[in-house]
A and B are shown apart, each in its own frame.
Chain A
Amino acid sequence: MPVETESGNGRGYLTERGWRSWAFTLDHKRIGAMYLWSTIVFFLIGGVFALLLRLELLSPQAKYFSNHTYNVFFTLHGSMMIFLFIIPAIPSGLGNFFVPLHIGARDVAFPRLNLASYWVFAAGFLVIIGSLVAPMDTGWTFYTPYSAKSAAAVTTLSLGIFLIGMSSILTGLNFLVTIHKMRAPGMTWHRLPLFIWGMYATSIIQVVATPVVGVTFLLLAAERLLGVGFFDPSKGGDPVLFQHFFWFYSHPVVYVMILPAMGIVSEVIPVFSRKPIFGYDAIAYSSLAIAFIGFLVWGHHMFTSGMSPLANAIFSFLTFFVAVPTAVKVFNWIATLYKGSITFESPMLYALTFIFLFIVGGLTGPFLGALATNVQLHDTYFVVAHFHYTMMGGTVMGFFAGLHYWFPKMTGKMLNEKVARAAWALVFVGFNVTFFTMFIHVENVISTIGSAVLAAGILLMCWNFLQGLRKGAPAPANPWRALTLEWKAASPPDTENFHEIPVVTEWPYGYGTPKA
């Protein structure tokens, strides 16, 4: 690589201190870090709600909580995890930090808009917390008519989610323009890291889909406040219309969740196999294909809601197609691993876990996409297991992989590998015990035990991060000997990212050669 690795002053972008240097920062790295801290906190809180659910499910007789409280817990678990953690974590957290670095830029296209996106996010979560005065019991999907009538603070929550959505849109908008306009000289589209292809596809979805859910919640608020009757059958409205609007966003948003994680996997696998990524073009285009096809299938959440038979048939038919570009990625990752020089550092452990668990989750998709089986499986734990395998076994493992991979770059410290691997083992075992049992409707007790192991693993991982922050060994600029541009910057990078904007002359996946 023609670009020289830089050495920093040890603290880089973290040098300036004081709350104002964070609250009013225009540095994408600081904004990304703020998103990461926030989303991880919400992940842990959402996790606590999950553990409370599992506690109640220990026995059919267990009545630690009233029915209403249980409904509140699963609504809060779902809503917090989806809106406050999994949608923003990789795109707005790791994405904000690394998109400019990956393309050789000093920052995103609109740094002030970026800061605004965080403050809108913060306003959103404050409003959502405010809605806890009368917490939601509607389920995270907020279906009408119940959500229009529930005594919960649905209107307040609607505003909160609207704000979170706005934040998501601003992030996506920023990345689209950044990736188009701010690539370093020589960084052609086909020299972009695959993380960027994933982020690009993600940004398209964020920009196109999120406004629809924004209006949906606006209409829900209007129903409650103004008596508007779009979704109310007694006024000539249609509750299924709510579902159309809701899922027009909420299906594509699962690809907002998974595409960045897949991007991270595409970065990690070649580095720890010391082999070029197999099928770069296919992986790049498959991200766009997944984003596009993801918009065509939203009705598959509504097969039992009373849609027309033709709509059912079309949505079911289209649903199967999304497996194709997804499988393309999986096959290419496996081909990358084949005959590679594989090592099992913690980022790689999580990346491999992603592939394995996402395959399981993905394979259970067709059962749900097929009309006949969907009728049996809708609203059962099979669905819960499917989306936890894809969202947690997929996105969250990808997120953990990214955190471990990029921890040295973001903080300038190395993590304790032994503890990281021990935590991984607990997470892997705990996850599978918790969720595999749901596919086969086995004992809730086993699932609850699994959740305790999973929680222990996650807590150990978090403790390891905190220890690393405080006492980790100083990290070199490129501890993994990787070839993407962020590793040319210091660990942690200076505020300006690079002393000189790099001129790119090579593809960043030339591993396994004497140079790398």
Chain B
Amino acid sequence: MSGHTGEHADPAVAFESAKLGVWTFLATEVLLFGALFTAYTVFRMQYPEMFRVEHAKLDRVLGAVNTVVLITSSLMVVLGVDAIKRGKARLLEACFGATILLAAAFLCVKYVEYAAKFHHGIYPRTNIFFSIYFMLTGLHGVHVLLGMGLLSYVIVLSRRGRLSADYFTPAEMSGLYWHFVDLVWIYLFPLLYLIG
């Protein structure tokens, strides 16, 4: 994600460019999930009763746990980025490590949920509600997984001594991505689990 470093004689410009780049990428993600949110809205309007009945089959408590897990993981990222801005590479690695563990916990909970659904014979093809549920949470889960990879890469960079108080762009940019993943879930949770 860093530019052609010879290109940006001015690191501030390089940082601002990277930031704009990440926000542009997040814009594409808004539209990516946006199409699925559109499908959700269309079908919710069309089948309100079916949505009410089916959504009750989701475990609100597990959904809430996952929400707390992700919010905490975002806090860890905030603390990690703050750490490297103060030159504390080891603290960054610890915080991002915690984030990755929390992300793994999120995916474990999702695994438990999916397994329970399959066990009860509920699959993506079962009905429109569950098609939407599996596609939305599935796509989100893929983003969680990719985020774990990204954060791991930042930890590797830090262990190699490449990050410091003067250069923390990869940490900050990965952080932006991770908060976005959290943000999507902040909407997914009520839309799928809470609204009757």
Complex A–B touching at CB under 8 A = yes
B residues neighboring A (CB under 8 Å)? 1, 3-4, 7, 13, 16-17, 20-21, 24-25, 27-29, 31-32, 34-36, 38-39, 42-43, 46-47, 50, 123-125, 127-128, 131-132, 134-135, 139
Q: How far is the CA of A400 from the CA of B124 in the complex (A)?
A: 48
Q: Mark A224-254, 1 if CB is under 8 A from B, else 0.
A: 0011111000011110010011001000000
Does A196 count as interface, using CB distance less than 8 angstroms?
Answer: no
Contact A212 B35 (CB under 8 A): yes
Q: Mark A277-294, 1 if CB is under 8 A from B, else 0.
A: 000000000000000000
Q: How far is the CA of A219 from the CA of B13 in the complex (A)?
A: 39
Does A222 count as interface, using CB distance less than 8 angstroms?
Answer: yes
Which chain A residues border B4 with CB–CB below 8 Å?
A: 26, 106-107, 111-112
Smallest CB gap from B27: residue in A: A207
Q: Which of A175-183, A336-344, A380-388 contacts B (4 or more CB under 8 A)?
A: A175-183
Q: How far is the CA of A172 from the CA of B123 in the complex (A)?
A: 37
A residues neighboring B (CB under 8 Å)? 26, 105-107, 109-113, 169, 172-174, 176-177, 180-182, 207-212, 214-216, 218-219, 222, 226-230, 235-238, 241, 244-245, 248
Q: How far is the CA of A141 from the CA of B125 in the complex (A)?
A: 24
Which chain A residues border B7 with CB–CB below 8 Å?
A: 105-107, 111, 182
Contact B24 A209 (CB under 8 A): no
Which of these, B16, B35, B139, contacts A245 with CB under 8 Å? B35
Contact B35 A216 (CB under 8 A): yes
Smallest CB gap from A219: residue in B: B135
Contact B24 A207 (CB under 8 A): yes
Q: A207-B27, A208-B31, A236-B47 are in contact. Are A109 and B17 (CB under 8 A)?
A: yes
Q: A207-B24, A227-B123 are in contact. Are A237 and B128 (CB under 8 A)?
A: yes
Which chain A residues border B132 with CB–CB below 8 Å?
A: 230
Contact A181 B31 (CB under 8 A): no
Q: How far is the CA of A45 from the CA of B144 in the complex (A)?
A: 40
Contact B128 A110 (CB under 8 A): no
Majority secondary structure, A binding face: helix
Which of these, B24, B31, B128, contacts A212 with CB under 8 Å? B31
Q: How far is the CA of A386 from the CA of B4 in the complex (A)?
A: 43
Which of these, B20, B42, B43, B127, contacts A177 with CB under 8 Å? B20
Q: A211-B28, A215-B35, A222-B135 are in contact. Are A235 and B17 (CB under 8 A)?
A: no
Contact A110 B39 (CB under 8 A): no
Which chain A residues border B127 with CB–CB below 8 Å?
A: 229, 235-236
Q: How far is the CA of A236 from the CA of B47 in the complex (A)?
A: 9
Which chain A residues border B139 with CB–CB below 8 Å?
A: 215, 218
Which chain B residues border A248 with CB–CB below 8 Å?
A: 35
Contact B3 A227 (CB under 8 A): no
Which chain B residues border A180 with CB–CB below 8 Å?
A: 20
Minimum CB–CB distance for A360 against chain B, Å? 33
Contact A229 B125 (CB under 8 A): yes
30 A-B contacts (beta carbon < 8 Å): A111-B3, A113-B21, A173-B21, A174-B21, A177-B17, A181-B17, A207-B27, A207-B28, A208-B28, A211-B29, A211-B35, A212-B34, A214-B32, A215-B32, A215-B35, A226-B134, A228-B125, A228-B131, A229-B125, A229-B127, A229-B131, A230-B128, A230-B132, A235-B127, A236-B43, A236-B46, A236-B47, A236-B50, A238-B46, A245-B35
Minimum CB–CB distance for B1 against chain A, Å? 8
Q: A211-B29, A235-B127, A236-B127 are in contact. Are A177 and B13 (CB under 8 A)?
A: no
Which chain B residues border A236 with CB–CB below 8 Å?
A: 43, 46-47, 50, 127-128
Which chain B residues border A112 with CB–CB below 8 Å?
A: 4
Contact A181 B13 (CB under 8 A): yes
Contact A235 B135 (CB under 8 A): no
Contact B24 A176 (CB under 8 A): yes
Which chain A residues border B39 with CB–CB below 8 Å?
A: 219, 230, 241, 245
